[in-house]
């Protein structure tokens, strides 16, 4: 069996699926291939906290997030299953000594027309009774930020893409790749051909690129998350909280259910083969996040650790996404710095415009892979 297409996308995480969506929407026949099922496999999308944050120091990233949110709402509108976007806002807590860094974020939000405002300790406690600031902290809330239940959202996207004209194949083993006038993939499922190829494989992207005699140099990091249960009398207060982000240590969290709260942190560089990654967090992280929760909620009883997990993400040298052409008709998209749910669909839209020969948004230049061509990245 031979299946022909205009574009083959390698990777069925959120970046691969959203790219396929935009290409198919424009009438471009697309095939998505992956080595595993992204809902039950080893990919990072389903392990996301589902947070959509507009809190970035660059307006270009914020506009990307805004377009990603439009994508999610569009997909949900097309689906028979309806879920809501919890527009709770994001509360960032920053040391006063880091006020200059905070001003980069507020300037970017103003430029991208994002609503935000500062909160002093009195205002904070009036709205969120269980939170307080120390004398050396300041707080700001990004009003447009929020979160989705990723365990519901991502299957909706996956199932929708499966029902459309593009073809989605998982558990694919690529035996050989030929690249003459077009690309030909010899797999356990048969042969696939395409005019163009997009690599959207997350931490596995460099391994995929080697099939085409290319290298993509990026940093890979592991990150950890946990869900903590909260005692009954405090359920109403906790479930009404916004997303929380501590700028001094990178800790973030959000309500997970009326009786639990999700925390994430524990990022460290990962140098091994991603196939060898263990998705269980270290015991030291579980203890650390419990202590952080107690410090953040001193008047609330944190009962126990319900669940914890770990995942991988990739990052470029300048901590901004990478989009563009590796070599003729071979494209790459990735390095979302742990913000794939926020950034991938918006970046997919930019890359789709390039592939479809549309005039790209000026924001594309900030993420174009060519910015690294003189820095030994490829």
What CA–CA distance (Å, rounded) separates 44 from 341? Answer: 10
The 3-state DSSP class for residue 94 equals strand
State residue 229 phi and psi, 5-degree precision. Answer: -85, 145
Task: Indicate the SS3 state at residue 364.
Answer: helix
Q: Tell me, yes or no, whether 20 and 111 share the same domain.
A: no
Closest by alpha carbon to 330, among 351, 344, 302? 351
Name the pairing type of β-strands 190-194 and 183-187: antiparallel
Are 104 and 184 in a shared domain? Answer: no
C-beta separation of 6 from 194 below 8 A: yes
Q: Please say which residue of 266, 298, 315 terminates a domain.
A: 315
What is the rounded CA–CA span in Å between residue 39 and residue 360? 32
Q: Is residue 57 part of a domain?
A: no
Domain that holds residue 256: 87-145+219-315
Within 8 A by CB and 6+ apart from 272, the residues are none
pLDDT computed for residue 310 by the predictor: 92
Claim to verify: residue 167 and residue 275 sit in the same structural domain: no
Evaluate whether residue 113 is within a structural domain.
yes
Whether 173 and 298 share a structural domain: no
pTM equals 0.94
Q: What is the rounded CA–CA span in Å between residue 321 and residue 336?
A: 5
The residues, any chain, with a CB within 8 Å of residue 80's CB and separated by 6 or more, are none
Per the structure, the count of domains in the chain is 2
Tell me which DSSP letter residue 349 carries.
H
**Could you give the C-alpha distances from 90 to 32, 83, 180, 212, 258, in angstroms and in order?**
34, 20, 49, 41, 18
Paired with 8 in beta bridges are 31, 197
Q: List beta partners, residue 333.
A: 323
| Domain assignment of residue 78, yes or no | no
Smallest Cα–Cα separation from 265: which of 238, 240, 284? Answer: 284
Rounded to whole angstroms, the Cα distance separating 353 from 339 reads: 21
Is the residue at 74 inside a domain?
A: no
* Residue range 140-168, pLDDT digits in tens: 999 999 999 999 999 999 999 988 877 89
Q: Do 224 and 310 reside in the same domain of the chain?
A: yes
Residue 279 CA to chain centroid, in angstroms? 17
pLDDT of residue 360: 87
One domain, residues 186 and 306: no
Residue 272, in any domain of the structure: yes
CATH number of the domain encompassing residue 161? 3.50.50.60
Q: Does 294 lie in the same domain as 258?
A: yes
256-305 residue pLDDT tens: 988 899 999 868 889 889 989 888 888 889 889 988 888 888 777 787 89
Domain match, 237 and 111 both? yes
- 171 with 186, same domain: the answer is yes
Q: pLDDT digit string (tens) for 112-130?
A: 999 999 999 899 988 988 8
Q: Are 288 and 340 contained in the same domain?
A: no
Residue where a domain stops, chosen among 300, 315, 330? 315
Q: Note whether residue 105 is domain-resident.
A: yes
What is the structure's pLDDT at 44? 83
Quick: pLDDT tens for 163-192.
887 789 999 999 999 988 899 999 999 999
């Amino acid at each position: 069996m031979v299946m022909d297409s205009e574009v083959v996308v390698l990777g069925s995480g959120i970046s691969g699926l959203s790219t396929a969506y935009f290409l198919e929407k424009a009438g471009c026949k697309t095939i998505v291939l992956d080595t595993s099922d992204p809902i039950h496999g080893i990919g990072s999308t389903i392990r996301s906290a589902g947070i959509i944050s507009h809190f970035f120091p660059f307006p270009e990233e914020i506009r990307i997030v805004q377009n990603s949110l439009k994508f999610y709402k569009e997909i949900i509108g097309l689906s028979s299953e309806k879920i809501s976007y919890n527009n709770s806002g994001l509360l960032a807590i920053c040391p006063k000594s880091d006020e200059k860094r905070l001003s980069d974020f507020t300037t970017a939000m103003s430029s991208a027309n994002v609503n935000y405002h500062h909160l002093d300790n009195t205002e904070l406690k009036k709205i969120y009774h269980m939170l307080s600031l120390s004398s050396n902290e300041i707080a700001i809330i990004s009003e447009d930020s929020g979160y989705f239940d990723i365990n519901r959202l991502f299957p909706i996207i996956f199932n929708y893409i499966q029902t459309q004209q593009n073809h989605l194949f998982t558990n694919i083993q690529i035996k050989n790749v030929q690249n003459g006038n077009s690309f030909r993939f010899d797999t356990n499922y048969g042969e696939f051909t395409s005019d163009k190829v997009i690599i959207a494989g997350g931490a596995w992207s460099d391994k995929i690129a080697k099939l085409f005699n290319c290298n993509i140099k990026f940093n890979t990091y592991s990150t950890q998350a946990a869900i903590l249960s909260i005692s009954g009398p405090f359920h109403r207060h906790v479930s009404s909280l916004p997303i929380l982000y501590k700028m001094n240590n990178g800790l973030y969290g959000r309500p997970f259910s009326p009786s639990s709260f999700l925390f994430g942190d524990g990022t460290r560089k990962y140098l091994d083969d991603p196939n060898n990654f263990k998705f269980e967090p270290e015991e030291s992280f579980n203890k650390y996040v419990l202590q952080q929760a107690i410090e953040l909620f001193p008047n609330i009883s944190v009962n126990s650790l319900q669940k914890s997990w770990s995942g991988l993400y990739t990052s470029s040298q300048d901590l901004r996404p990478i989009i563009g052409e590796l070599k003729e008709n071979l494209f790459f998209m990735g390095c979302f710095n742990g913000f794939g749910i926020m950034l991938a669909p918006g970046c997919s839209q930019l890359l789709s415009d390039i592939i479809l020969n549309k005039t790209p948004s000026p924001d594309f230049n900030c993420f174009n892979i060519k910015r690294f061509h003189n820095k030994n990245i490829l």
